[in-house]
Amino acid sequence: MAANGTIAELVQAQWGDHRPGAKFGDLTLTQHQLAAGAAARAALLGDTLPRGAEPHIGVLLDNVPEYPLWLGAAALAGAAVAGINPTRRGTELARDIAHTDCALLITERAHLPLLDGPALPMPRERVLVVDDPAYQELIKPYEGALPDEIAAAGAPTPASRMLLCFTSGSTGAPKAALCSQGRLAAAGHSLVGYLGVRRDDVHYLCMPMFHGNAVIAGWAPALVGGAAVALRRRFSASAFLPDVRRHGATYFTYVGRAVQYLLATPPAPDDRDHPLRAGFGTEAGAVDAARFADRFGVRLTEGYGSSEGGAALQRSPDTPPGAIGRLAPGDDLAVVDPDTGSELPRARLDAAGRLLNGEEAIGELVNRGRSSFEGYWRNPEATAARTGGRAAGRAGAGWYWTGDLFFRDTDGFFHFAGRTDDRLRVDSENLAAAMIENILARYAPATGVAVYAVPDPVAGDQVMAALALRDGAAFDPDDFVAFLAAQPDLGTKMAPRFVRTLAALPVTATNKVHRVALRRAGFRCPEPVWWSPLAAGPAGTAYRPFTDEDRTALLALYKDHDRTPLLDR
């Protein structure tokens, strides 16, 4: 890690470089201006932090130039940035700020209403509002600060905390994963080599910077490679290509459903008229990645690397469609049974790449070797669980448990199969929601698909699917049954018992499908639900509307078996 140095050294290297460094609307800051602005803010930080406080800065901003400026400032000062999610509210937002021991909060006028209700863990004078004239007056005395001098005083090292990245768990309060300057710099160096980042590149940051994707996979490689970043306050599918053309963007990162939103925009004859070279992210899926390449002429690379830094897979030119990649040299990753830690058999795929033995091949991805996981801030229980301590005596203590389901084919390629929280157990058979989603994604009338478990009224789970339908499309149960029957890789337990149809899938602030909301609503949602009372499998499934009478009768069955509380899990 030390060989890659620190983020502070990379910020210092921007000094004297007058090429573009950050673009935002009509504003362009040079690399030199970014370094100078970071030094000024780091000097202000040194005079503002109370003695003895943790050097943690909460940043509650959209993607505006102040965000990378404060990232640079934290690096020079040996401080850490906690990205605060603006979609959090009230006591939850105040909890995130307090949990990460933020001694200073950087925000903007648009987000001030979020701070009106909760009791903040710092006095109001340590809330800096970047678009308030008083903020510029506050910065002015520090504008002559030099990055080298600030870094010498802050004494940052590769081990210095740099980021407190909140991870979105399916239940409970978000955890703040630690990321040191050395780990962030190492990630930047790795992606520069992997993506071939050039000094004349422009990285388009349209994913929220409070999330690890934009900082680790977008800002860090740009900083290492000497490239510029172009900032979009918030992701907009309709503004994507105009922004790319305006800023000359060559690379972008994505998470969640961003790619699907882009594909849902009306096709235009100039869809390939842009400078984009590549996209890098997660959860686009093989089908949509192929559609994106066909329409926009841009190859999407699906990567895998946890925000915690515990495991990563490396894509190579021979990686087959649908796979993530192989082990990086020296790594020891495996797919194991989550209960026993035993390595599972390799997956068998047919000629079309369809999984034939998912029941025995799908398990949790673990790193049995050395990982760069640095723990969670003030959460030893979660740290212990991630490193195998969550079940006393379980094999694999000391490994890094990713919480993600994978299978590994006979050629050694790893394939993502969902989250451990997205496992379903139907008639004693274990299923992965992502595998069913990959199949249902072929259904032409649907623009988006989410599969999740609803408790069976007696034992185990039942499969429920949410389908976002194209404009003007209506759910045709006979057509859907014919589609299911035509899918050779749809197992006998995979056909959805319930189908919810809606205009758009609910998403989180990072454009990931809001699975918790879908699971909790289940079949009690306001949108139309269709169901197959007999659940006879893909060949014999038949769907009819799920009526109020059906709901009443089914809820009574849950009550009879004392399983009603499971509906709210």
Under 8 Å between Cβ of 485 and 420: no
Give residue 498's identity as a one-letter amino acid code: F
pLDDT of residue 103: 96
* pLDDT value of residue 568: 67
Question: How many Cα atoms within 13 Å fall on the side-chain side of residue 3?
Answer: 3
- Rounded CA separation 424/454 (Å): 9
d(CA 441, CA 447): 8
Rounded-to-integer distance, Cα 469 and Cα 447, Å: 6
Look at phi and psi of residue 52 and say left if phi exceeds 0, alpha if psi is from -120 to 50, else beta: left
Lookup result for tokens 């999407």: 300
Give per-residue pLDDT as tens, 434-481: 889 988 999 999 999 999 988 888 777 899 999 999 888 899 999 999
pLDDT of residue 3: 58
Residue 296 pLDDT greater than 80, yes or no? yes
* DSSP, residue by residue, 237-273: HHHHHHHHHHHT--EEEE-TTHHHHHHTSPP-TTTT-
Of the candidates 456, 531, 532, the one whose C-alpha atom is nearest the C-alpha of residue 500 is: 531
Please write the tens of the pLDDT for every residue from 502-547: 999 998 877 888 888 898 899 999 999 999 986 545 545 789 999 9
pLDDT at position 240 is: 98
Per-residue model confidence (pLDDT) at position 535: 52
Chain centroid, CA 322 distance in Å: 18
Q: What is the mean pLDDT of the chain?
A: 90
What's the rounded Cα separation, in Å, for the pair 229 and 368? 36
User: Are the C-beta atoms of residues 366 and 421 closer than 8 Å to each other?
Assistant: no
208-249 residue pLDDT tens: 999 888 999 999 999 999 999 999 999 999 999 999 999 999
Phi and psi at residue 178, to the nearest 5° = -85, 140
| Distances from the Cα of 460 to the Cα of 72, 426, 456, 498, 543, angstroms | 50, 6, 5, 15, 21
Q: What is the pLDDT of residue 1?
A: 39
Q: Higher confidence at residue 564 or residue 549?
A: 549
The arithmetic mean of pLDDT across residues 11-17, rounded, is 98
Distance CA 298, CA 251 (A): 10
Domains, the chain: 2-227+253-263 (3.40.50.980), 304-423 (2.30.38.10), 427-568 (3.30.300.30)
Q: What integer pLDDT is reported at residue 534 of this predicted model?
A: 67
DSSP secondary structure letters along 187-198: HHHHHHHHHT--
- Per-residue confidence (pLDDT) for residue 131, from 0 to 100: 97
pLDDT tens for each residue of 52-62: 999 999 999 99
Percent of the chain with pLDDT over 70: 95
pLDDT at 428 over 80: no
pLDDT band at 392 (very low <50, low <70, confident <90, very high): very low
What is the percent of the chain with per-residue pLDDT over 90, rounded to a whole number?
64
- In terms of Cα–Cα distance, which of 181, 224, 203, 195 is closest to 6? 181
Residue 419: its pLDDT value, please?
A: 73
Segment 343-350 shows an average pLDDT of: 94
pLDDT of residue 508: 84
- Residue showing tokens 């849902």: 264
Q: pLDDT band at 170, cuts 50/70/90?
A: very low
User: Band of the pLDDT at 171, cuts 50, 70, 90?
Assistant: very low
| Contact criterion met (CB below 8 Å) for 152 and 65 | no
Distance CA 131, CA 119 (A): 23
pLDDT digits (tens, 9 = 90+) for 176-191: 999 999 999 999 999 9
**Model confidence at 563, in pLDDT bands (50, 70, 90)?**
confident
197 within 8 A of 230, measured Cβ to Cβ: no
Higher pLDDT, 84 or 566: 84
pLDDT confidence band for 10 (50 / 70 / 90):
very high
Q: Is 297 left (phi over 0), alpha (psi -120 to 50) or beta?
A: left
Predicted confidence at residue 395, as pLDDT, reads 66
Strands 423-426 and 202-205: unpaired
Per-residue pLDDT at 391 exceeds 70:
no
Q: What is the pLDDT of residue 397?
A: 79
CB 455 within 8 A of CB 562: no
Residue owning tokens 């997205």: 422
